[in-house]
Structure 1
Amino acid sequence: MTAGQPSPDDHTDYHDFADRMSRMMIAQMTGGMAPSALWQAMADWSVHLGTAPGKQAKLAEKAMQAPAILAKRALNAETADPMPQDRRFASDHWNNPPFSTLRDGFLLTEEWWQTATTDVRGMTPANEAALSFAVRQALDTMAPSNFPHLNPEVLARARDTQGGSVMQGLMNTVADVGAPKEMPSDLRLGKEIAATPGKVVARSHLAELIQYSPTTDTVHPEPILIVPAWIMKYYILDLSPHNSLVRWLVAQGHTVFVISWRNPGAEDRDLGMQDYLDQGPRMALDAIDAITGAERIHAAGYCLGGTLLSIQAAAMARAGDTRLASMTLLAAQVDFSEAGELALFVSEAQVALLEDLMWHQGYLTGDQMAGAFTMLRSNDLVWSRMIHEKLMGEQTEPNDMMTWNADSTRMPYRMHSEYLRGLFLENRLSHGKYRIDGKALSLTDLDLPIFAVGTETDHVAPWKSVYKIHHLTDADVTFALTSGGHNAGIISEPGHRHRHYRIATHPHADRYQDPEAWVAAVAPQEGSWWDGWAEWLRARSGDPVAPPPMGRPKAGYEAICDAPGSYVFQR
């Protein structure tokens, strides 16, 4: 046994130890996926489809019509219509036979299976979603675009390069074998990325607090605290200078603080959500109080950092602590009942398997967590990359987002188990059953101004789930819906082309408006939601004053080191 791993001596029940070890080995073989979840979905589907003769007849009709549809399209040179986000068949090369017939046959097969696995009366929504997702993943592996002799783009490139693309693809494949998991990149932390000047002014075992140097003569008196998710490195918010949200906020005349989370190891296995709260937002708020002397603080949380911030804000409201001037939630959920496709990976069977895997390791690795996110967008993140790099011999130049995405973090056993069960599986926070400091929290205690951002194509925090903050609090909510996904939608700097957003404020006293009605009533506008947020913050901030000091040694908060600190370098 290595340090941090459990042993039979740690448990009085040897039978439980044997069961955990068995499930841990299953988790290692399946990449953390619970086989029983898929078997249950398949059984549910089989039973209910078997007792639905009308559905069976419909599927039989679609199967018999497929050859005629293919023939008609071939004779009339018609083209199938893939989903708008499906870029596999976007090239005009796919309009030429026989490749057009291969494409159309595959798309008809996808359509048939989509019909077969959805709207099966009697199936639970969870099982239907899980089976539909699994079938889609299986079909994606068999798409004709994945095979070099069936992909006209691959063949055309091989012809145009006289076989050079084939050789380069083989070289790319060989280079990937045994290569380090990190994205090879010339972008260096503290140099090209995470390069906004600042100082680490406080540190706990789990977090460093970075204070950024002012770039304006005066600043708003209310500093901003940003709480990123603990499952990611903070510098998603401080990428390159041109798209750094942190640098942009500083330039708007704000004093900005950011939490940089530690990358925990097996020795941290027993640290839980309470520890992350105490050593993260609470530590940061106390430090900001002492350094700036500000009476009020704007707080913003990204992804799960927003969830943690909401917990802290509710705890402060319960205690009568009025230090928060506002709360901003960036693609962050507080109600996980409709958490999108990511919910497919969170069931009792799945959580139990992950718990046993983490119980053995002491943590969940970033790679194990990233696998679920990758499967949600396998067309873009797996197959598209494979086609371009391995079959067409193209080189992918790493950018700042790709470099950050490859810089994964770990999650302690206890904390991640509490998150998966307490927040995701049992949804205790939205039900008023989540406990901090031994007491239950209620989001209805929140009456501070809230700014919430959802992104239109978010697979991690669907915008309609983020929108639920409207009816879970007693606050005035300003909601912004922006183009893009979970990361690219948030990192949407002013001047970024082809960006738009909707924004509207809903006073709590007004009647509730459902998300569909909200979209219909609020017109989109071109540009970045950052500008809308900046205006919202200015309206809730005081007149500019002289910048506060960088740390305050007399209060015990001296500058420890330069930004980006030391924790961000932990692998």
Structure 2
Amino acid sequence: MGDHLEKLNTNLKRVEELSQRLVEALANKGQNDPGLNGPGPDLYMKASMAYWSELVNNPAKLMERQVKFWADSVTHYAEAQQNLAQGKLEPPEDNTPDDRRFSNPLWKTHPYFNYVKQQYMISANAIEASLKDLEGLEHKDRQRIEFFAKQMVDLFAPTNFLATNPDALERAVETEGESLVKGLENLVRDIEAHKGEILPTLADGSAFELGKNIATAKGAVIYRNEMMELLQFAPTTETVYKKPVIIFPPWINKYYVMDLRPENSLIRWIVDQGYTLFVVSWKNPDKSYSDKGLEDYIEKGYLKAIDVVKEVTGSKAVNAVGYCIAGTTLSLTLSLLKKRRQKPISSATFFTTLTDFSDQGEFTVFLQDDFVDAIERQVAEDGVLDNKYMAKTFSFLRAKDLIYGPAVRSYMMGEAPPAFDLLYWNGDGTHLPGKMTVQYLRGLCQSNDFAERTFELMGKKLKVSDVDLPLCAIACEADHIAAWKDSYRGVQKMGSEDKTFILSQSGHIAGIINPPNKKKYGHYTNDDLSLSVKDWREQAEFHEGSWWPRWEAWLRTHSGKRVAARSLGESGYKILAQAPGTYVKETPEL
């Protein structure tokens, strides 16, 4: 008894200290534009007007929905009560669909938890059904209303609250409350780290060190300017293809997603196939970069990197790869080069790249004026878009997996974040220059000028049909960031007569970082790119395993003959730092 009392008193003292820290952390919450926290009032007005119009014009339908909800709720209550009245400590029949949030057996066997779960499901279904009945909404408005309604439904899941989460309650009993104290420690730590924001830490940051157990491919920085470091990776074959490969990763995150571990490193794999590989590592900008735009990324990033690679290798042209937003910007660069009548790029590869934003997919929610206006105001004040806003945006697109699930495990179960390299990389974000952010959101995403009209940049009118060199595009079937259907439509509008489109299984990261040795995800091909999205997919041929070897076979045809492997830092370019370089380690405070 004495030991239990001592432990209780110790925990209570820790709770008191943590509570004080919690209050201080919440008081220090940074100020940001309120428009970044939710939709503008116009969306609420549109939803209200649609509901009122439906109530006036078709009251029977809404009443039917309401009566069904009442009936389901009352019937459920009556069935639960009947079992209890008969002395049965068991729930009524449960026909709710499987949901991994409710994997604890008590959700099915315990009357209390089962009642809570079933009533939550009834309420969630009622909300979903009521939204389907709303008429007179534009497609984008409907998408947004459904998205925010789903956010509310997910937020109020019983698993998110201690009193209705059997896993958390069992853990608290097993640990004599220790799990709740650790959970509070985790909560305070996250709020302090994120300046008052409640964002769960997804991975154990202390488990990884760049260049030690992550991002370990051998290479060196051979050039550096204010926008990027250029890394050259050491050859692993005696001969290499004459034309080098240069990869432009997205500057929303850092390049080493392509070099997490030796066994899934795309960088190592490309080098092992006999290519001289260069990768750009972008600067993580601070407020002084507020006026840097797409033109700076193109001129001092893409074009300068290509010039250096050509000098180092002696090749007249390179094979360029762009990933996500870097693929979009590679398309702009190719259009610019055509206007300038220059041909330093032999072939282009696009990983999960959008160039046609006519259908914004799941990002529709965050690409309307209320949010973009708020972002524009925020970057005008801060100079850059803090990476926390991008992290929140991506997380809320998969809130169950990236917010509520981790929060439950961390704050209610008291678990430490896992040592997971991909989640560590995901949390190692970068800021975005203010000017570039607005250019991208207004001119490309909202106006879709590059695909539908012309996008004016660097004194030229750029358009997607200018992209006319041999190209290979890889999209991912379950990609919620760059939907494959939109990627496909953009490729269709490109002017090249030599196009290859590959559809990988899985999502934005796993579909790309899919090494052949894993044999995890397959891919689809179809040479007829004149087909509609639906017809292309239905007629596509499925192939087991990774798309990497298929792409490499295509790349080989654009890479010339084999020559002696090149050493690091040839042609007068000195080694400035060993890989992974210095820019990748920077996290400027704002």
| Residue in 1 that maps onto 2:555 | 537
Per-residue Cα deviation, 1:175-213 (whole angstroms, up to 9, x for no partner)? 445347885223111221122111212222111111111
- One-letter amino acid matched to 2:66: A
2:521 aligned with 1:499, yes or no? Answer: yes
CA distance in 1, matches of 2:206, 2:503: 32
Which residue of the partner structure matches residue 210 of structure 1?
A: 231
542-551 or 40-49, which deviates more: 40-49
* 1:288-367 alignment, distance < 5 Å: 288-367=309-388
Task: Work out the CA distance in 2 between the residues paired with 1:111 and 1:95.
Answer: 19
Q: Which has the larger radius of gyration?
A: 2
Instruction: Give matches, 1:108-507, under 5 Å.
Output: 108-118=122-132, 120-161=134-175, 163-179=177-193, 184-475=205-496, 476-496=498-518, 498-506=520-528
Which residue number in structure 1 is paired with residue 569 of structure 2? 551
Q: Which moved more, 1:360-369 or 1:29-38?
A: 29-38
Amino acid at match of 2:151: Q
Conserved in 2, the CA contact under 8 Å of 1:40 and 1:127? no
Give the equivalent residue in structure 1 for 2:73. 67
1:514 corresponds in structure 2 to 532
Runs of 5+ in structure 1 lacking a partner?
1-24
Distance in 2 between the 1:417 and 1:445 partners? 23
- Cα displacement (A) at 1:232: 1.2
Q: Does the aligned pair in 1 maintain the 2:293–2:435 contact within 8 Å?
A: yes
Residue 524, structure 1, aligned to residue 545, structure 2: no
Structure-1 residue corresponding to 2:12: none
Q: Contact 1:335/1:429 (CA < 8 Å) preserved in 2?
A: yes
Contact 1:79 1:95 in 2 (8 A): no
Aligned length: 538
Could you list the per-position Cα deviations for residues 6-59 of structure 1 after superposition, in whole angstroms to 9, with x for gaps in the alignment?
xxxxxxxxxxxxxxxxxxx98434545453354344345334433441542442
- Of 35-44 and 514-523, deviating more is 35-44
- Is contact 2:321–2:349 with CA below 8 Å preserved after alignment? yes
SS in 2 for 1:429: helix
CA displacement at 1:167 relative to structure 2: 4.4
The CA RMSD over aligned residues, in Å, is: 2.5
Give 1:470 shift: 3.5
Task: Return the alpha-carbon distance in structure 1 between the equivalents of residues 171 and 542 of structure 2.
Answer: 40
* TM-score for the superposition, normalised by structure 2: 0.85
Q: Using the TM superposition, give the Cα deviation of residue 160 of structure 1 relative to its aligned residue in structure 2, in angstroms.
A: 5.0
Letter in 2 for 1:323: P
Deviation at 1:136, TM superposition (A): 1.2
Structure 2: distance between partners of 1:294 and 1:541: 10
Displacement of 1:497 after TM fit?
Answer: 5.8
Q: Amino acid of the residue matched to residue 267 of structure 2?
A: V
d(CA) in 1 for partners of 2:542 and 2:52?
45
| SS in structure 1 at match of 2:267 | helix
2:103 is the alignment partner of 1:90: yes
Q: Does the 8 Å contact 2:220/2:232 carry over to 1?
A: yes
Out of 44, 67, 70, the position equivalent to 1:39 is 44
Identity fraction in percent: 33
1:44-87 C-alpha deviation (Å, 9 max, x unpaired): 533443344154244234324423774799776333115xxx53
The DSSP-based 3-state class of the residue aligned with 1:178 is helix
Structure 2: 5+ residue stretches without partners: 1-29, 81-90, 196-200
Between 1:96-105 and 1:215-224, the stretch displaced more is 96-105
Per the alignment, residue 579 of structure 2 pairs with 563
Q: Is the 8 A contact 2:353 2:482 kept in 1?
A: yes
